[in-house]
């Protein structure tokens, strides 16, 4: 699993994830992801285009981060997921605490609307 924090010169935290959000993948990025995303007071936009699998631990990590961001009166938006990954996220209830949209433009609109 790979995580990259992108600097785009705006007020958002941009994170790109790549690989499998399974036990091994979570072990590799959970601390860094929690620090960058879960503790943010700014909107967090997470690019999932290169995530090939999400297990229950991955849903849990994303859910916890979204909930923590919300407590700080910000928003976490997931975008770019494959149809299968998006379906897993929605079934896992992530849409209740985070935005799930198809692309970066929709993610920016979701942040602006929040």
Q: What digits encode the pLDDT tens for the residues 63-104? A: 999 999 999 999 999 999 999 999 999 999 999 999 999 999
Q: What digits encode the pLDDT tens for the residues 14-54? A: 999 999 999 999 999 999 999 999 788 899 999 999 999 99
Using the predicted structure, report yes or no on whether residue 9 has a pLDDT greater than 80.
Answer: no
HSE, side-chain direction, 13 A CA sphere, residue 52: 6
* Dihedral, CA of residue 69, residue 64, residue 48 and residue 114, to nearest 10: -30
User: In whole angstroms, what is the distance from residue 74 CA to residue 49 CA?
Assistant: 23
Domain map of the chain by residue range? 2-113
HSE, side-chain direction, 13 A CA sphere, residue 3: 20
Domain 2-113 carries which CATH code?
A: 3.30.750.24
């Amino acid at each position: 699993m790979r995580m990259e924090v992108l600097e785009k010169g705006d007020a958002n935290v941009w994170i790109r994830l790549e690989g499998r959000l399974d036990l091994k993948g979570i072990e590799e990025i959970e601390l860094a992801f929690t620090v960058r995303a879960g503790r943010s007071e700014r909107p967090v936009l997470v690019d999932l285009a290169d995530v090939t699998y999400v297990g229950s631990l991955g849903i849990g990590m994303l859910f916890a981060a979204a909930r923590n961001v919300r407590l700080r009166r910000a928003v976490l938006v997931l975008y770019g997921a494959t149809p299968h990954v998006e379906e897993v996220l929605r079934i896992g209830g992530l849409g209740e605490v985070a935005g799930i949209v198809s692309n970066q433009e929709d993610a920016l609109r979701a942040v602006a609307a929040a």
